[in-house]
Amino acid sequence: MKNKGLQTILYSTVGIAAVALILIGFNLITATFKQRVDLTEEKAYTLSAGTRAILAKLDTPVKIRFYCTQSELSTPETVFLRDYAARVDDLLAEFEVEIVPFDRPMVVHGRRGCASYGKGHNPADLNMGDLFSYALARSLDVPPYFEGLDFFKTDVQDAMAMLGYAFDARHSPRLPPT
């Protein structure tokens, strides 16, 4: 009887160890493949076929500025943001998109933009995300693509207007003239 109990414990331990080794091996093997799988019902984390087609047709490198603080503190929010940042990094790496850091000239333009066009200072009422876009446009001296009336009330040029787009009263673009 004692022998049977010992045998059961031994078999259980060996079985659990075998399952653990199989799972670890499976994770190590699948980790070498950089394939994302979107199991959400609405495919929330999957690029549409149209977006993939547009990206495939690009003949020049795309630079995307992705801002995420890499905090050492571990709170539920920072853990979520770190995980989200890792997923965005993986997606950008999949399409070989260069990640450019936020530099000092952009900080200067962002501060000036906040003082001139930030919430409570100007009818443009730019929020923090808008100010990042404003700083990028000013530091690279390129006009941003935007919809709505906020950037329309700043000193940056409108890329879509430069391309001949027409707009409605809310600055939503219509098709450009042919």
Q: 56-71 pLDDT, tens per residue?
A: 787 877 776 666 666 6
Q: What element of type H or E holds 64? A: strand 63-64
Least confident of 10-14, 23-27, 37-41, 121-125: 37-41
Q: Indicate whether 106 pLDDT > 80.
A: yes
Q: 138 with 109: CB under 8 angstroms? A: yes
Cα 134 to Cα 70: distance, rounded to the nearest angstrom: 23
Distance CA 124, CA 134 (A): 11
Domain limits of the chain? 104-162
pLDDT at 70: 60
The residues, ordered by sequence, that sit 6+ positions from 82 with a Cβ below 8 Å of its Cβ are 68, 70, 71
Distance CA 110, CA 128 (A): 9
DSSP tag of 130: H
pLDDT average, residue stretch 1-22: 86
Q: How far is CA 159 from CA 49, 50, 65, 87, 113, in A?
A: 26, 22, 18, 30, 18
Q: Which of 126, 132, 55 is nearest to 94 (CA)?
A: 55
Residue 162 reports pLDDT greater than 60: yes
Q: CA-CA distances (angstroms) from residue 174 to 106, 168, 177?
A: 31, 7, 9
Average pLDDT along the chain: 80
Q: What are the structure tokens assigned to 166, written together?
A: 């027409």
What are the distances in angstroms from CA 17 to CA 20, 67, 104? Answer: 5, 42, 53
* Tokens coding 87: 């997923």
